[in-house]
Amino acid sequence: MSDDTEDRIAEIETLPLDAWHRRKGARMVPFAGYHMPIQFEGIVAEHNWTRQQAGLFDVSHMGQLLVSGERAAEELEKLLPGAIASLKPGKVRYSLLVDENGGILDDLMVTNATPWIEGDEEEGTEGHWGEPAYYLVVNGATKWDDIAHLREHLDDDVTLTHMDDHALIAVQGPNAATALNRVMRNVIDDMVFMESVIHDFGEWPLRITRSGYTGEDGFEISVPAQFAESLADRLCAEIEVRPIGLGARDSLRLEAGLPLYGHDITTETDPVSADLGFALTKRRREEGGWMGHGEVMKVLDRGPAQKRVGLAIEGRMPAREGASIYSGDTQVGRVTSGGFSPTLERPIAMGYVDTALADEGTELEVEVRNKRLPTKVAKLPFVPHRYHRGK
Amino acid sequence: MARYFTDEHEWIDVDGDTATIGITDYAQGQLGDIVFVELPGSGTALSKGGDAAVVESVKAASDVYAPIDGEVTEANEALEDDPALVNTAPESDGWFFRMTVGDKSQLDGLMDEAAYKSFCDGL
């Protein structure tokens, strides 16, 4: 027996919910520089619970950043290929940080967090929007590089704040809204997928965003670190909510066809090849003015050499990251993440293959331990998304 | 029949010249949900410490090493249809394969149940 996944890394830090996880029976592993729970009762049980009920995920390792200032949107648009200036207060968008070569530095969520300032009748002031502010959630493993990149390229008249005194708790699953509604009445009633609100829950100032990375309806709640344990307890007191580890988070996002930074997307991949063209807003494609625009447009114009696709693997043997993909005797790609789908009860994977072979249904082979496994290019997501988009 | 254990968390039941190999309850608990087991075919020659089988959990693949020299005589076909047997019955129905005992002296270096238990307690 060997298990080489738990390499010891120096200087592993703890997150606000560390003791809480240990009390709940988590097995902790080093991840993105922190001690993180890989599993509680077991990956498959946690995975299925999230798909059927609701799971609580500690994603406090992720970077929560606030970019504020009158010119915050224009400055962010220098680095992100999405339309930030037209993003309305309370709306959320998936975006990317792209380098000068068109490679992906990170993927992230941007929320227009511009505060609404209430009017005051006695003083004769009317309600109005305050100073523009954008709340970014970036990947844990890349947050320090992201912060350095933003500091280097954003103008001095915008302020970048790392909200490292905040935890981030995700509640995901078909019953996430039911549970959250019982804890905080009337807060999420009008919210749909990719919307965000500020809510003072007693003395806890929360930011609640209807988003997530499991393919299910759900929420991500930003909470000051000192209240994180109490909030996690409040949420897990609901019968639908159980703590879920990183293991199930990975299998859930893989089923949902969502790329994982550092694996499915890296600086070696560009947004077009990664099939993330939706993050390149039409106006921004045409007008440019963002880092990497020229290189990304070249790929868009001539077509990418390879594309990120889903792979359905025959049999029960999973193909993991790094496995080679073949068409006949020719290697045509590589698996970037793969594992066993608890929902579909068969192996699934994502990888890059030559564009000519990227159409759904194309028959390929994946090599695992010198065996060729019959594989078909599959539609993503493997398991349909169930986001709450409203009527 | 004597049961031996390795520090790689395999158990070995020795009955005359035949040994049955599996992974321990501790090992299956560490691996989590087993979704696939790749077993050696009959006739495969194994050498102590060499790769013998691969066990795949949801999160990762792990190698299982041959605890002794010998030749595989039978693989547990039940694991093909129901790899979760390794989780539910690791030290009985979830056995991996049977092999000949090539060199009995290699058993001397292995642990008995009490020694293995204290080995796990120290982890």
Could you please report the per-residue DSSP string of A158-185? SEEEE-TTEEEEEEESTTHHHHHHHHST
Task: Confirm if A366 and A319 have CB atoms less than 8 A apart.
Answer: yes
* Contact with chain B for residue A207, Cβ under 8 A: no
CA A136 vs CA A84, A112, A163, A191, A313: distances in Å: 12, 9, 10, 19, 36
By the CB < 8 Å criterion, does A3 face chain B? yes
**Looking at domain A305-391, what is its CATH homologous superfamily?**
Aminomethyltransferase beta-barrel domains (2.40.30.110)
3-state secondary structure of A10: coil
Report CA torsion sign: A219, A222, A225, A230. negative
Q: In chain A, which residues fall in CATH 3.30.1360.120? A: 18-59+165-255
pLDDT tens digits for A11-66? 899 999 999 999 999 999 999 999 999 999 999 999 999 999 999 999 999 999 99
**Three-state DSSP class for B48?**
coil
- Going by C-beta distance under 8 Å and a sequence separation of 6 or more, which residues neighbour residue A91? A111, A112, A194, A195, A196
pLDDT in tens, A142-152: 999 999 999 99
For chain B, the domains span 2-103
Asked if B35 lies within 8 A of A316 by C-beta distance, the reply is: yes
Report the alpha-carbon distance of residue B52 to residue B8 in Å, rounded.
Answer: 12
Residue A5 in this model has a pLDDT that exceeds 50:
no
Of A1, A317, A340, the CB nearest to B9: A1
CA A160 to chain B, closest CA, distance in angstroms equals: 36
Q: What is the ipTM of this complex?
A: 0.87
Q: Nearest CB to A42: which of B32, B36, B61? A: B32
DSSP A280: S
SS3 content of chain A, % helix, strand, coil (to 5): 20, 35, 45
The topology (CATH level 3) of A18-59+165-255 is Gyrase A; domain 2 (3.30.1360)
In angstroms, the CA B48 to CA B66 distance is 5
Q: In chain A, which residues fall in CATH 2.40.30.110?
A: 305-391
pLDDT on residue A10: 61
Q: Measured between alpha carbons, how far is residue A324 from residues A33, A272, A334, A335, A361 in Å?
A: 29, 21, 5, 6, 18
Residues of A in contact with B80 (CB under 8 A): 316
Per CATH, the architecture of B2-103 is what?
Beta Barrel (2.40)
Closest approach of B15 to chain A, Cα-based (Å):
23
Per-residue model confidence as pLDDT tens digits over A67-119:
999 999 999 999 999 999 999 999 999 999 999 999 999 999 999 999 999 99
Mark yes or no for CB contact B58/A38 under 8 Å: no
Amino acid code (one letter) for A78: K
Model confidence pLDDT, tens digit, residues A290-318: 999 999 999 999 999 999 999 999 999 99
Long-range contact pairs involving B82-90 (C-beta distance under 8 Å, separation at least 24): B83/A316, B83/B34, B83/B35, B83/B36, B83/B37, B83/B56, B84/B33, B84/B34, B84/B35, B86/B22, B86/B23, B86/B28, B86/B34, B86/B37, B86/B55, B87/B28, B87/B33, B87/B34, B90/B22, B90/B23, B90/B24, B90/B25, B90/B27, B90/B28
Distance from CA of A3 to the nearest CA of B (A): 6
